[in-house]
Amino acid sequence: MTAKKVLYTAKVHTTGARDGGTSRSDDGRLDILHSLPGSKGSGTNPEQLFAAGWSACFDGALGLAARALKVELPADVAIDAEVDLCLEGDAYFLRARLNVSLPGLERHVALALIERAHQTCPYSKAVRGNIDVVLNLA
C-alpha cells in the first residue's frame, strides 16, 4: 500500500529483548524497560504496549465513527484491550479482545460504532486476517 501522505513516523531504538531490554523513542517521551510477560520484573512487555496503542487508536476511531453517524459519544467511553501471547507447538501467535464500553447508547448504535471503528482503525487494519480478534460491547 502506497501512502499519499505520511502523518507521523514513530522512531524507537530497542536493545535487548523481552527480559531486561530497553526501548527509547527519539524524542525521549518513551523510555521503558522490558520484562517477560507475567514476570515480577519492573518493565512492560510488547503485548501490553500493543494493547495500549490499539485501544487508544480504537478510541479515536470511535470518535470518527460517531461524527460520521451523527452520534454523540458518551463522556465515559472505555476500552479494555486484552492481547494474548499464545503458543502452539513451537509457534508463537497473538489473539486479542477489545471490550468496548459505550454507556447510555442503544445496543444497535453502539455495535454500529464499534464495527465502523474496527474498519477504520489502523491497528485493526494491521491485524485483520492475521490474528483472531473479538470485539465485545461491555
Regarding whether 81 and 26 lie in a shared domain, the answer is no
Q: Looking at residues 30-49, what average pLDDT do you find?
A: 93
Regarding whether 28 and 7 lie in a shared domain, the answer is yes
Regarding whether 56 and 40 lie in a shared domain, the answer is no
Regarding whether 83 and 71 lie in a shared domain, the answer is yes
Regarding whether 64 and 2 lie in a shared domain, the answer is no
pLDDT category, 66, cuts 50, 70, 90? very high
Look up the CATH number of the domain holding residue 79: 3.30.300.20
Look up the CATH number of the domain holding residue 12: 2.20.25.10
Regarding whether 109 and 96 lie in a shared domain, the answer is yes
Regarding whether 129 and 63 lie in a shared domain, the answer is yes
Regarding whether 65 and 1 lie in a shared domain, the answer is no
CA separation, residue 107 to residues 77, 98, 103, 112 (Å): 14, 16, 9, 9
Q: Looking at residues 48-70, what average pLDDT do you find?
A: 98
Structurally, the chain folds into a number of domains equal to 2
Q: Looking at residues 77-104, what average pLDDT do you find?
A: 97
Note down the domain range covering 58.
46-137
pLDDT at 115: 98
pTM: 0.93
Contact (CB, 8 A) for 20 and 7: no
Regarding whether 36 and 52 lie in a shared domain, the answer is no
The CA-based diameter of the chain, rounded to the nearest angstrom, is 48
